[in-house]
Amino acid sequence: MKKEKIVVIGGGAAGLLAATAAARCGAETLLLEKMSRTGRKIGISGKGRCNITNSASVEEFLPHFGRNGRFLRQCFQNFFSEDIIKILGEQGVPSVLERGGRWFPRSGQAMDVVRALSQLVKESGVQVRHDTPAEEIILRNGAVCGVRAGEKLIECSRVILATGGRSYPRTGSSGDGYPIAAKLGHTVSELYPALVPLVSSKKLTGLDGLSLRNISLRLFVNGKCKAQEFGEIAFQDGKIAGPLVLTLSEKIVQLLKKGKEIELTVDLKPALDKAKLDARLRRDLEKRRGEQINSILRGLLPEELVEICLHECELDDSIDTTAFPAKQRLKLLHWLKDFRLPVVGYGGWAEAIVTSGGVSLKEIDPQTMQSRLVPGLYLVGELLDLAGDTGGFNLQLAFSTGWLAGESAAKAIAVSTPHMP
């Protein structure tokens, strides 16, 4: 009897774990990767350091994926953060826990994670074919029977589709899996860039590279405050980024699409209420009487913000700081508590860390990751209608869904293929 085979399409975080799990369960497993090497996105993750996962519990993890997070409960119960940390440790890549429950490789090198996972698939007996883009999944009598890659038709009874999302297409994940899944009858919800920098109507290029830590950020939608967070924002390529903004970006992108007016306001001195900040300003002005206003502001603000503050508070160097007008002081006070950044757009796919939207979860069995529509098809990773916050949540989603699909597909084959005497 011909041995049944599993084909995994895509060698990213989800595909590498899916192939390993399938092979470890004894299935003949072939991994098709369209690029010349696997794991390219992992290699650039976490600014080259790879935030592997998070120390949060399963119940704490789920809300980081919004309403759809519930889908992942069984999957995380099957394979979770301690499992990937253990696997990497066994491959010679120990991890360290940092602020915010974030796990990183101790070496600080994302490429060590890529090497470990690429080695893992080979050691598990997976056959890996690089430079092989899969184009179509073939069905016979409604069930999976093969994969077409160029001229080649590869026979198999199970396919795990792990082609990733649409963000950072230069890593290989350019959204190939969505039309492949749609052709088989799956619903693909609208795709948006998520965890993406935001564009302001203000010119911000002078702020590139600046990070503002311990600030309070408020989100206004049509003039109404809808969220307030404390933490860090940053500026890059003339856009607003950093953890707080990236986390809010998924919601903001959708609001912008609906034509809502969006404004972010930054409280640069959240530890001081207005009265305390005013007392501080009076003290500074008194202590540094006669100095130029920009030098006084340097004691209050990062260098990069001084120019923009002077401009927005309509202050110039000629102002007499020995008799600083109360009206100007209050204007400065207000600005420090309420630095406004109107948001008019967002970065494109090349800048988005993840893809929001994807294959509908209603059409997938959360206990196996198998399609409810096509027997033998499994869908995993960023391709699904799931997008997590920053903090290691997205890689864990890929690892866990991949592992569950690999195990389930291999077990299903073991059941359907009777042992030869």
Two tokens at 123?
């050691």
Separation CA 388–CA 404 (nearest Å): 18
* One residue of 112, 382, 385, 407 binding ligand FAD per CB under 6 A: 382
* Interface positions, 202-231, toward ligand FAD (CB under 6 A): none
Q: Which is nearer to ligand FAD, 315 or 377 (CB)?
A: 377
Binding of ligand FAD by 197 (CB under 6 A): no
Binding of ligand FAD by 173 (CB under 6 A): yes
Query: Are 371 and 191 within 8 A, CB to CB?
Result: no
Binding of ligand FAD by 162 (CB under 6 A): yes
What angle do the packed helices 274-287 and 326-337 form, to 10 degrees?
130
Binding of ligand FAD by 255 (CB under 6 A): no
Q: How far is CA 98 from CA 95, 200, 243, 248, 389, in A?
A: 10, 32, 15, 22, 17
* One residue of 118, 163, 247, 400 binding ligand FAD per CB under 6 A: 163
* Smallest distance, ligand FAD to C-beta of residue 114, A: 10
Query: Are 43 and 16 within 8 A, CB to CB?
Result: no
Q: How far is CA 398 from CA 101, 135, 218, 392, in A?
A: 18, 21, 31, 10
* One residue of 8, 137, 207, 395 binding ligand FAD per CB under 6 A: 395
Question: In this chain, which stretch among 31-39, 60-68, 234-242, 301-309 interacts with ligand FAD, using CB under 6 A?
Answer: 31-39
* Smallest distance, ligand FAD to C-beta of residue 106, A: 15
* Interface positions, 50-109, toward ligand FAD (CB under 6 A): 50-51
Burial of 102 per CB tally in 10 Å (0-12, 13-18, 19+): buried
Query: Are 365 and 145 within 8 A, CB to CB?
Result: no
* One residue of 248, 381, 403, 410 binding ligand FAD per CB under 6 A: 381
Q: Which is nearer to ligand FAD, 134 or 409 (CB)?
A: 134
* One residue of 5, 6, 7, 15 binding ligand FAD per CB under 6 A: 15
Count, residues in the chain: 421
Q: Which is nearer to ligand FAD, 7 or 333 (CB)?
A: 7
Q: Which is nearer to ligand FAD, 49 or 202 (CB)?
A: 49
DSSP class of residue 355 equals E
Binding of ligand FAD by 34 (CB under 6 A): yes
Using CA of residue 368, residue 371, residue 373, residue 375, what is the dihedral sign? negative
* Smallest distance, ligand FAD to C-beta of residue 373, A: 20
Q: x/- binding map, residues 262-291, to ligand FAD, per CB under 6 A? A: ------------------------------
* One residue of 6, 7, 8, 9 binding ligand FAD per CB under 6 A: 9
* Interface positions, 125-144, toward ligand FAD (CB under 6 A): 133-134
Binding of ligand FAD by 33 (CB under 6 A): yes
Indicate the Cα dihedral angle 313, 314, 318, 323, nearest 10°: -50
DSSP class of residue 70 equals G
Binding of ligand FAD by 356 (CB under 6 A): no
Cβ neighbour number for residue 357 with a 10 Å cutoff: 21
- Buried b / exposed e over 309-332, threshold 16 CB at 10 Å, is bbeebebeeeeebeebeeeeeeeb
* One residue of 32, 93, 126, 266 binding ligand FAD per CB under 6 A: 32
CA neighbours within 13 Å on the CB side: how many for 208? Answer: 6
What angle do the packed helices 81-90 and 110-123 form, to 10 degrees?
80
Give the binding site for ligand FAD (CB under 6 A): 9-15, 32-35, 38, 40-42, 44-46, 50-51, 133-134, 162-164, 167-168, 171-173, 176, 353-354, 381-382, 392-395, 398
